[in-house]
Amino acid sequence: MVIDTVFVKLSIILVVALAVSIIVRFMKQPMIIGYIITGILVSPYFFGFAAEADIIKTFSHIGIAGLLFIMGLNLNPKVIKEVGKVSLVTGIGQIIFTFAVGFLICATLGFSYVESAYIAMALSFSSTIILMKLLSDKGDTSTLYGKISIGFLIVQDLVAIVVLVIVSSMEPATGIFSFATHKILAGIALIGTTLLVGYFVLKPITKKIAQSQELLLLFSITWAFALASLFYYLGFSIEIGALLAGMTLSVSPYRYEIGTRLKPLRGFFLLMFFVLLGSQLQSENFISSLIPAVVLSAVVLIGSPLIVMTLMGFLGYTKRNGFLTGLTVSQIGEFSFKLIILGIGLGHIKPDILPTVTLIGLITIGGSSYAIRHGNKLYEIFSPYLGIFEREGRKVDEGIFYKGKDHEIVLFGYNRIGYSLEKAFRKIHKKFLVVDNNPEVILKLARAQVECRYGDAEDLELLEDLPLSTAKMFISTIPDVETNFALIKEIKRLNDKAIIIVVSHQIEESLQLYEAGATYVITPHFFGGIHTAHLIERFVFKKKDFEKEGARNAHDLLKRKKEGQRDVLHERG
């Protein structure tokens, strides 16, 4: 009977989530906002579907563990080699300064010193789950700011794990400094052993198992549950075990296959995460928690990014990368809630602290979702005021590998299409410049003596430094339609005679890009990069020939639209 009741409650939660998500999608808002609203609606403060249902809460904990495992697959420690110094400084620095500011504000708000310490530490940890999803959705995991963010996530998660190990070692109902040293040492030794096993043992095992995709998936899930259970059995957190299980597999060459197989579950696990958060909202202390939650949310949403921008500016990074990286720390994370729950279980803090931290989580996750999603637009607004966060002189992340500005062709985005186009540029013997926001790509091109520059096509300051008014051809292989619209507008404003070639994966958007002034639109699933490369070899800078080819392309796309052909992205989704 209990199982039937839980099943019905879970079904209702899913129906609510679906209805809210449809509305959110229709309003073109981030899906995370839908999950947050669902978590609030099913909370005891509203409909109460998640209240007093231990099985649903257990299911939610499993979902969080699953999410952390999936996200751990992307936290490859090798990232630290590339951006180790800045990740370590920003990761540790942000924790120290946020803790200090948070502690002072909590004490001012009337919390005890112990409660202030717990809340301040909770404010210091960013969310691996939320940040990795947002970076992945934007396609920014390979950008410099994305790599730095992933780097300090690894640093923060390791600090959070150590803090949780220390807290879980404390004796219940005793002072905050009463803990078992042997258990702390055992926990640290267990973490170190797990990471070593992942690097030296799991890599050869997965290599053999990977011959069967199903066996690889089963092994990965088994490893995640086994490690999480081991940590739980030894008196630690299943979330710690799940995250470390993912991190140990992140060094495997088959992490992408594992992640791809598990990705469809990510949305469901994320929903259960917010259902668990919603279950922490109790109606009797919701109002009393509101004012402290709003004040402390401001510390996370504003204070933490300012700390990161200051530290990155001191290290010699551009204000743009500092700003975008700063936005990624503007929320609290899953380990924040785990820390508070542990503190309550040990009797160090009162249970009514949990709704306050839960509200902070919902506010900051919602706010950071919009901030990270619209980071480039926000940067354009605040850029004139961010000079104080940037040191004078050459920046460590400028990534300029060329001399002069006499380029006839500018290529935005070096990928499979860009690779084909580069060959065409060489055949027609024209000087070209590649602009890409992946630092690894830029370094490889520089080593190959290809003139290139690190940067984002949405960065107006970068565009001002490029030969927009003199180059004869501009090509964007970036699939984001808004970026391409902005590029077309800026190029046509300065250089109406230039040939503008952009990429689009959807028929409707391709037609809109033609209307906006694109000379030719590459539609990879209909007319790909190789075809475009041949056109460049044939026409070189003859704009009228490109316009004729573009007209034929547009006519063909209209026919496909009338015949009901669908975009490949839609077919996949």
**Residue 570: per-residue pLDDT:** 40
Answer whether residue 516 shows pLDDT above 80.
yes
Residue type, 498: A
Q: In sequence order, what are the residues at sequence separation of 6 or more whose Cβ sits closer than 8 angstroms to the Cβ of residue 392? A: none
Share above pLDDT 70 across residues of the chain, in percent, rounded to a whole number? 88
Task: State the pLDDT confidence band at 542, using cuts at 50, 70 and 90.
Answer: confident
Please tell me the distance from the alpha carbon of residue 18 to that of residue 157, in angstroms, as a whole number. Answer: 32
**Residue 286: per-residue pLDDT:** 62
Residue carrying the six token digits 């939650």: 293
**Residue 52: per-residue pLDDT:** 53
Dihedrals phi, psi of 503, to nearest 5 degrees:
-110, 145
Counting other chains too, the contacts that 102-109 makes at CB distance below 8 Å and 24 or more residues apart are: 102/296, 102/299, 105/295, 105/296, 105/299, 106/292, 106/296, 109/292, 109/295, 109/296
What is 400-572's CATH number? 3.40.50.720
pLDDT, tens digit (0-9, with 9 covering 90-100), for 239-279: 888 888 888 888 887 887 788 788 778 888 888 888 877 77
Are the folds of 2-389 and 400-572 the same?
A: no
Would you kindly state where each structural domain of the chain is located, as residue ranges? 2-389, 400-572
Q: Which of 31-35, 54-58, 152-156, 516-520 has the highest mean pLDDT?
A: 516-520
Please tell me the distance from the alpha carbon of residue 478 to that of residue 481, in angstroms, as a whole number. Answer: 8
Give the E-state strand segments of 495-566 in sequence order.
499-503, 520-522
pLDDT, tens digit (0-9, with 9 covering 90-100), for 93-121: 999 999 999 999 999 998 999 999 999 99
**Residue 547: per-residue pLDDT:** 87
Q: Which tokens sit at 539? A: 């026409």
**Residue 443: per-residue pLDDT:** 81
**Residue 50: per-residue pLDDT:** 60
**Residue 445: per-residue pLDDT:** 86
Task: State the pLDDT confidence band at 526, using cuts at 50, 70 and 90.
Answer: low
Average pLDDT of the residues in 440-452: 84
DSSP 471: -
Q: In sequence order, what are the residues at sequence separation of 6 or more whose Cβ sits closer than 8 angstroms to the Cβ of residue 568? A: 505, 525
2-389 has which fold?
Na+/H+ antiporter like fold (1.20.1530)
pLDDT, tens digit (0-9, with 9 covering 90-100), for 367-411: 999 999 889 889 989 988 988 988 877 777 667 777 667 899 999
**Residue 283: per-residue pLDDT:** 57
Average pLDDT of the residues in 195-214: 79
Residue carrying the six token digits 């004490």: 107
pLDDT, tens digit (0-9, with 9 covering 90-100), for 136-158: 888 788 888 888 998 888 889 88
Burial class (CB in 10 A: 0-12, 13-18, 19+), 293: buried
Task: State the pLDDT confidence band at 68, using cuts at 50, 70 and 90.
Answer: confident
Average pLDDT of the residues in 160-173: 76
Answer whether residue 125 shows pLDDT above 60.
yes
Residues 67, 127 contacting (CB under 8 angstroms):
no
Q: In sequence order, what are the residues at sequence separation of 6 or more whose Cβ sits closer than 8 angstroms to the Cβ of residue 178? A: 170, 171
Q: Which tokens sit at 182? A: 């042997």
Answer whether residue 198 shows pLDDT above 80.
no
Indicate the Cα dihedral angle 84, 155, 77, 66, nearest 10°: -150
Percent helix, percent strand, percent coil in the chain, to nearest 5: 70, 5, 25
Q: In sequence order, what are the residues at sequence separation of 6 or more whose Cβ sits closer than 8 angstroms to the Cβ of residue 478? A: 412, 413, 457, 484, 502, 503
**Residue 569: per-residue pLDDT:** 43
Alpha helix stretches (DSSP H) within 428-502:
439-447, 460-464, 481-494
pLDDT, tens digit (0-9, with 9 covering 90-100), for 306-351: 999 999 999 888 898 999 999 999 999 888 988 888 888 888 888 8
**Residue 444: per-residue pLDDT:** 84
Average pLDDT of the residues in 206-225: 84
Please tell me the distance from the alpha carbon of residue 559 to that of residue 553, in angstroms, as a whole number. Answer: 10
What is the 3-state secondary structure of 280-293? Answer: CCCHHHHHHHHHHH
Answer whether residue 228 shows pLDDT above 60.
yes
Please tell me the distance from the alpha carbon of residue 243 to that of residue 165, in angstroms, as a whole number. Answer: 14
The whole-chain average pLDDT of the chain stands at 83
